[in-house]
Amino acid sequence: MQGVLNYNEEQRDFLQGVHGEAAAMAMRILSDMARVEGVRDFVAVTSAHVDGCVYHGDTGCYFAEKLASAGARVRIPTSLNVGAMDLRQPSNVLLEGATRDLAIRQMNAYVAMGCTPSWTCAPYQAGFRPSPGEQVAWAESNAVVFANSVLGARSNRYGDFLDICCAITGYAPNSGLHRPENRLATLVIDASGLSRSLKKRDDFYPVLGWWLGHTVGAKVAAIVGLPLDVSEDRLKALGAAAASTGAVGLFHVVGVTPEAPTLERALGGAEAVKRIVLNREILLDTHRRMSPAGDEQLDVVALGSPHFSISEFKVLLGLLKGRKAAIPIYVCTGRHVIDELGPLGLLNGLDASNITVVADTCVVVTPVLSSDGGVLMTNSGKFAHYGKSLTGHDVVFGSLEECVNSAIAGRVIRDKAAWGVA
């Protein structure tokens, strides 16, 4: 869609090259996106989270280096998503040769533009926490849905290259979830009838999210009936799964998330277009579909998508009880977590337990696991969704406790009483 855009004086200066060649290119790209989205103006954003730093091909590196060499600098606080290398322990990543070099060059180019080298898909756990109503330009699907839903900030699901353009200019097209009218729920998901014991389980939330994404797509849903004390880690798991299996950028949990103190507020006073009442059978079917590999073989356990938090590490260490796993366990996390837990000695001895801690990156965006394939067990709805296509491993899904017990036994161990899954 073509149209005349409404620029303010600063935006015109960007286009005319007053702030340099790179900023002019960034503003042109955002202008084209505004036309595609059918809007004519822009919204000022106060922070960005950039996903374009992860290597998916040579052009991503060349684009970032072109911006950097043209003098691009971010104008707003900008965190960086995972890259394709673990810069602290490079041997954790199996990239080789020119590909490895390009991955590192791409990460370095974004740092050269003034981005904070946070290297995490969970910037909200690393101190980057916009306030309710704050306009931001975040990329990486789980980060976006967390910022929108749990923090109440306002961002669209920005993709690679648009994210850095927003960071360089401080503007984004005034579309989608930046606009309050698009943030109202149209669907109600009723979890009230589910048992308390089920809703207390950590694996309930990625299963709910997996189902939600498949069911609602990009629509905004209000969920009723979840515990009012549900933790951020569980909301993180819900949102990450929903954003992976669907295009969810925002959900509301009534009585919990900032824009849903009541169902009426979440709906904006309107009637819901549709109301879906959840039952155990719906979620049990989803749980089964998340484990296509079955329970006959197990080769590796992968945790930490989104990146493991400090509290999740503490739970993991409690479940291990000093035992050694019979198969490798990979835990992906941010360097901010290692920086906090390491000096406390809480990460000591993990190598002896057959655990590899991977920082700065993730097993589904870069080769960390053996290319021979096999069966991967995870407690992550996101890993369960992307595992086969991006790692070559068949997938088994389970709770964190099931993952730990299975890794120690070298075979899949289930809590049969919870889900009725053999």
For residue 422, what pLDDT band results from cuts at 50, 70 and 90? very low
Q: What is the pLDDT of residues 153-201, one digit of tens each?
A: 999 999 999 999 999 999 999 999 999 999 999 999 999 999 999 999 9
Residues 202 and 256 in one domain: yes
50 assigned to some structural domain: yes
Whether residue 335 is contained in a domain is answered as yes
What does the mean pLDDT of the chain come to? Answer: 96
What is the C-alpha to C-alpha distance for residues 206 and 82, in angstroms, rounded to an integer?
21
pLDDT, residue 399, reads 97
Query: Lowest mean pLDDT: which of 142-156, 220-234, 264-278, 363-377?
Result: 363-377
Label residue 12 exposed, middle or buried (CB < 10 Å: 0-12, 13-18, 19+).
exposed
| Same domain flag for 32 and 165 | yes
Domain-embedded: residue 1: no
The total of structural domains in the chain comes to: 3
Kindly state the average pLDDT of the residues 104-131: 98
Say which residue, 61 or 415, is predicted with more confidence. 61
| One domain for residues 324 and 274 | no
Model pLDDT for residues 294-307, shown as the tens digit of each residue: 888 999 999 999 99
- CA pair distance 290, 288, nearest whole angstrom: 5
SS3 assignment, position 11: helix
**26 lies in the same domain as 72:** yes
Give the max Cα distance, the chain.
66
Query: Is there a domain that residue 421 lies in?
Result: no
Domain boundary pick from 265, 288, 311: 288
Q: What is the mean pLDDT of residues 256-260?
A: 98
pTM: 0.97
Domain stops at, among 256, 288, 320? 288
pLDDT of residue 2: 53
Whether residue 14 is found in the same domain as residue 161: yes
The last residue of a domain, from among 230, 253, 288: 288
CATH of the domain at 64: 3.30.499.10
Rounded mean pLDDT of 102-106? 98
What is the total residue count of the chain? 422
Query: pLDDT band for position 1 (50/70/90)?
Result: very low
The reply to whether 32 and 163 lie within a common domain is yes
Q: Are residues 13 and 153 in the same domain?
A: yes
Residue 420 has a pLDDT of 62
Q: Are residues 253 and 347 in the same domain?
A: no
Cβ atoms < 10 Å from Cβ of 15 = 19
Alpha helices in 225-267 (DSSP H): 232-245, 263-267
